[in-house]
Amino acid sequence: MRRLILILCLIASPLMAVQPDEILSDPALESRARAITATLRCVVCRNESVDDSNADIARDIRLIVRERLVAGDSDAEVVQFMVDRFGEFVLLAPRATGTNLILWITGPALLLAGLGIAFATTRRRAEPARPLSAEEEARLKELLKQ
8 vs 15: CA distance, rounded Å: 11
Q: What is the pTM of this model?
A: 0.59
pLDDT in tens, the chain (146 residues): 777 665 655 555 444 566 666 677 778 888 888 899 989 998 888 788 888 888 888 889 989 999 998 898 898 999 999 999 988 888 888 777 777 788 888 999 999 999 999 998 888 776 677 888 899 989 989 999 87
103 vs 106: CA distance, rounded Å: 5
